[in-house]
Amino acid sequence: MSSAVEGLLLLMCSWFSYTDIKERNISNHWTYAGLSILVIYRLFDPAFFLGLIPAAVLLLCWFFIPRSISKGELSGDQHCSLREYNPPFGEGDIKLFGVIGLALGLERTFAVFFWTCLFAVIFVKSYWIVKRRKLISLPLAPFILLALIFTMILKYAL
């Protein structure tokens, strides 16, 4: 049954990668459905609930990244203008890591998280070297998919 869960997870992540690139959106309907099904599936195997720790860490980081940054100076009765600051990951990425955590467990979810960060950093640095400019935003789901595939290859190869 574990390989069936992994196969469905790969399909789900593939779809999320496509929608994250095209629409910059990871569907709540599918992530909530995945979380609900996996909670029921893992109900009698509580060790897999530890796989939610990486998603919880991301959620805490998401809460503590400042939502607005003031620009300009205040003088007298002038108000400073605020602009929105986009964190490096979105709510959909956090929920996707929750699904991955319930599907794979703590150790493999941390591996997916590590490889996601590494592949994204390599891409951003390569982009900067080639284009000589910084990326404004980056869909994270394709890197999550790449890290998931890489982690599964390592699992079955070793």
Q: What is the DSSP string of 66-134?
A: -SEEEES---TTPPPEEEE---SS-HHHHHHHHHHHHHH-HHHHHHHHHHHHHHHHHHHHHHHHHHSS-
Whether the pTM exceeds 0.75: the reply is: yes
* Residue 82: per-residue pLDDT: 38
* Residue 99: per-residue pLDDT: 93
Q: Which residues of the chain have pLDDT under 70?
A: 1, 65-88
